[in-house]
Amino acid sequence: MQDPFSTDAFSVYQLTSAINVLPNRYGRVREMNIFPVLPRRSRTIVLEEKHGVLTLIPSAPVGSPGHQNISGKRKVRTFVIPHFPLDDVILPDEYQDIRAFGSESQLRELADLVNERLQSMKDKHDITLENLRMGAIKGQIPDADGSLIYDLFTEFGITQKTVNFALDTDSTDVRGKCFEVKRHVEDNLQGEIMNGVHCLCSGSFLDKLINHPNVYETFLYQSSSQTRDDVRKNFQFGGITFEEYRGSVEGTEGLQNFIADGEAHFFPRGTSNTFYTAVAPADFNETANTRGRLYYAKQTPRKFDRGVDLHTQSNPLPMCARPGVLVKGKAT
């Protein structure tokens, strides 16, 4: 039987285009558009850090020479973009009985079969990317086994700011804790802009926050709807938007939440170049030195033509170029 996958409809270009237009089914961080995709032509990204030196300029007589400007020191850091391949197989008995029916051609039937398999594989790439992006928000980008691909605080030589909200103590000044977070974020923007501070937190953290006496009383007298509506995705207090994040994945040790119980992670919104997802090109002959895409797909006949091997891959590295703006919160 002639190989039905030998047509141009199943080339690396067509399959890659197909997997990139399939719907995304998972990812709150993706929905927030925090990490815009930045295509790269290589497998590395280079970050140049320049510590600006701000000094007061003393007065001088008109016509006198200017004072010498002091430039900041520069540090260059290189990051390798990780590679995430995923393979599957389509056996002959899955498509050997496909025949033209009505207005649909054999090629369309085969394309639907391939797209179903690509969608399943893309879902796994999506949850992997969500885990990486959530890790970048926390400053620690994890691999599937829980080990770290990059610890951004170690890479940049800084210590993460942690704020204990002490929500088990009725007298805690929760608004003051929010101001502490915001001031730290503002001080570490390093010339960057933002339009607010956002918090993704566990359900237990949000529950303790909403029910804290100093928080609950504020909304009790301001708006009765705040006390009866579900505000888990848009709870605002102290100039910060709090949102419960329920992302999780089934791991080797059961269900693993992307945010640990009782924790919260704060970050600025509306920045221009602090967050992005660098994507490298696939390791195919056809894609060498091209601009990277978020997903790639390719197929090749199996040995003795006993089916088709389907290969997908993604090569993303979500990055926070200013990890000093990332703040960790604890409920107790």
What was the pLDDT predicted at 115? 86
Over the stretch 292-312, which tens digit does the pLDDT of each residue have? 999 999 988 888 888 889 999
Instruction: Give the whole-angstrom CA distance, residue 18 versus residue 319.
Output: 26
Q: Tell me the domains of the chain and their CATH numbers.
A: 4-50+74-330 (3.90.1690)
Instruction: Give the whole-angstrom CA distance, residue 152 versus residue 247.
Output: 21
**How many Cβ atoms from other residues are within 10 Å of residue 70's Cβ?**
9
Q: Rounded to an integer, what is the distance from CA 168 to the centroid of its chain?
A: 31
Instruction: Give the whole-angstrom CA distance, residue 54 versus residue 316.
Output: 35
Q: Rounded to an integer, what is the distance from CA 180 to the centroid of its chain?
A: 25
Instruction: Give the whole-angstrom CA distance, residue 307 versus residue 189.
Output: 54
What was the pLDDT predicted at 282? 95
What was the pLDDT predicted at 61? 66
As a whole-number percent, the residues of the chain with pLDDT over 90 amount to 57
What was the pLDDT predicted at 319? 95
What was the pLDDT predicted at 103? 38
Least confident range from 113-122, 177-186, 226-235, 251-260: namely: 226-235
Instruction: Give the whole-angstrom CA distance, residue 262 versus residue 140.
Output: 18
Are the beta carbons of 278 and 316 closer than 8 angstroms?
A: yes
pLDDT score of 326 more than 60: yes
Over the stretch 260-281, which tens digit does the pLDDT of each residue have? 999 999 999 999 989 999 999 9
Question: CA dist 105 to 7, 77, 111, 264, Å?
Answer: 14, 53, 10, 52
pLDDT score of 141 more than 80: yes
Identity of the highest mean pLDDT range in 3-12, 99-108, 289-298: 289-298
Are the beta carbons of 219 and 226 closer than 8 angstroms?
A: yes
Identity of the highest mean pLDDT range in 17-31, 240-254, 279-293: 279-293
What was the pLDDT predicted at 76? 79
Q: Rounded to an integer, what is the distance from CA 297 to the centroid of its chain?
A: 21
What was the pLDDT predicted at 193? 92
Q: Which residue has the higher pLDDT, 61 or 12?
A: 12
pLDDT score of 172 more than 50: yes
Over the stretch 43-81, which tens digit does the pLDDT of each residue have? 998 887 665 444 555 656 666 677 666 566 667 788 999
Reading phi first (left if > 0) and then psi (alpha if -120 to 50, else beta), residue 102 is in: left
Over the stretch 86-104, which tens digit does the pLDDT of each residue have? 999 988 887 766 654 443 4
Least confident range from 4-13, 211-220, 245-254: namely: 4-13
As a whole-number percent, the residues of the chain with pLDDT over 70 amount to 82
Tell me what the pLDDT averaged over the chain comes to: 85
Question: Nearest CA to 167 among 214, 201, 237?
Answer: 214
